Amino acid sequence: MEKYDVIVVGGSAAGLTAAQTVRRHYPDKKILVIRKEEQVLIPCGIPYIFGSLQGPHENLIPDGAYEAMKMDLRVAQVVDVDRINKLVKTNSEEFVFKKLILATGSFPAMPPIPGHDKQGVYAILKDIPYLNELQERLKSAKNVVVIGGGFIGIEISDEIKKSGVENVCVIEIEEHCLSQSYDEEFCTEMEEQLRSRGVNIYTGSKVMSIDGNDRVESVALSTGKTIPADLIILGIGAVANADLAKKIGLRIGLTGGIVVDRAMRTSDPDIFACGDCAEKVSFFGGKSSALRLASIATLEARVAGANVFGIKRETPGTVGVWGTAIGNLAMGTAGLTEKMAKAHGYNVIGAVNESVNRHPGKLPGASKIKIKLVFEVNSGVLLGGQVRGDASAGEIMNAISACVLNRMTAEQIAMFQSGTHPLITASPIAYGIVNAAEAAIAKMLKVKE
């Protein structure tokens, strides 16, 4: 029976990052990763296998790190853990561990819609044969309905449309697509972009039933509309896969994730959890958060991995930073939107700056950037920011994330020392993050008068 210092269950973003972090912090420890997949899909890349890429095989997390960082890998299903004797059991083997890290991921959420079990209804499983089958079916599909207008839903819709499907519809229950990610003025821009590329969008629409005989034929909406569908894709979010943790008696949280402390320890101090399977608390107020993102997973993995033999790191909770892109239009968000911040009880001011990402604007590649920052009025602390632009919106979002994480005030951001260059950023006079902060300060001065 082989003995390991650390065993990681799961080999996607969280599991691989946790193992790498253990290796970096404890160069001499023996590490095993057990995962159930022969090859691991890049989770956020799945939408692109339907259009931009040739298929799932072009969207894999490389396995080079295992050899390079001297970590063992087993492809097997973990069926049980003996917490007393510190054993991990697969169907055919047992391994001894000192410390265990659970990174068992998530499942797609399944909506309680009548007919969701009909043939032709697909979720986005992280499973290569399943996705290959879906891709094959898409080739002959004429009417595809995507249920859920979050970022996975809109990205998949666009890719499917791009691949040549005649009718692609997105159904969103809220008033706008992406309303969990952006304030309305950003959501409507992305909706316009998606429509301009041929995708139909039905917002404020609940799917009441999925209809047809054995196979799906149409969906009925709360608005009374019926939409033909020979294929349905569900994109309504993810729920923690805490099955193993439940079986072995670990504490489970409000959103169904494995309860962890700030050091990513579960209720068993020798077992850590990270990624989609772990319960999250918000950076803002500390309540449970249902956000499931690969970037959160890797943060938690870096905390868990560093802590296995002595607590070195504690997470301040989930800020929530993510982006999306449709064609040349990219958007990013870090922290709270104005709507979310108000719902949270904060007294907020939002301020917007629009600029151009080159200076002068006649230089090649020039396009518009919009940045919105949201501040708490009394303290002036930044609660979140949103950006719309070209590909560099992704890194503007990360610059905003750094400001949120450091709880910078509008005054501090107004004195942000940005670097600028004609060919790659906005002008220093117009730089968006700074000017949005100045606009917020001007508004706050009026409020205080």
Query: Of residues 38-97, which lie at the interface with a second copy (CB under 8 A)?
Result: 42, 44-45, 47-48, 52-53, 58-61
42 CB-near residues (< 8 Å, 6+ apart): 59, 60, 61
How many residues touch a second copy (CB under 8 A)? 90
Stretch that binds a second copy, among 101-109, 263-271, 337-345, 439-447 (CB under 8 A): 439-447
In the list 234, 236, 434, 444, the residue contacting a second copy (rule: CB under 8 A) is 434
- The residue among 86 and 280 lying less far from a second copy, judged by its C-beta, is 280
In the list 4, 6, 11, 17, the residue contacting a second copy (rule: CB under 8 A) is 17
Stretch that binds a second copy, among 81-89, 112-120, 227-235, 385-393 (CB under 8 A): 385-393
* Cβ at position 151, least distance to a second copy in Å: 8
Residue ranges in 118-137 that form contacts with a second copy under rule CB under 8 A = none
C-alpha 256/C-alpha 30 separation (Å) is: 31
- The residue among 51 and 111 lying less far from a second copy, judged by its C-beta, is 51
* Cβ at position 404, least distance to a second copy in Å: 8
In the list 8, 21, 238, 281, the residue contacting a second copy (rule: CB under 8 A) is 21
* Cβ at position 209, least distance to a second copy in Å: 33
Q: Is 144 in the site for a second copy (CB under 8 A)?
A: no
- The residue among 266 and 318 lying less far from a second copy, judged by its C-beta, is 318
Amino acid in position 2: E
- The residue among 254 and 423 lying less far from a second copy, judged by its C-beta, is 423
- The residue among 21 and 205 lying less far from a second copy, judged by its C-beta, is 21
- The residue among 38 and 117 lying less far from a second copy, judged by its C-beta, is 38
Q: Is 154 in the site for a second copy (CB under 8 A)?
A: no
In the list 323, 350, 380, 384, the residue contacting a second copy (rule: CB under 8 A) is 323
x/- mask, a second copy, residues 263-302, rule CB under 8 A, reads --------------------x---------xxxxxxx--x
- The residue among 99 and 280 lying less far from a second copy, judged by its C-beta, is 280
Q: Is 392 in the site for a second copy (CB under 8 A)?
A: yes
- The residue among 102 and 232 lying less far from a second copy, judged by its C-beta, is 102
Residue ranges in 341-380 that form contacts with a second copy under rule CB under 8 A = 359-360, 362-365
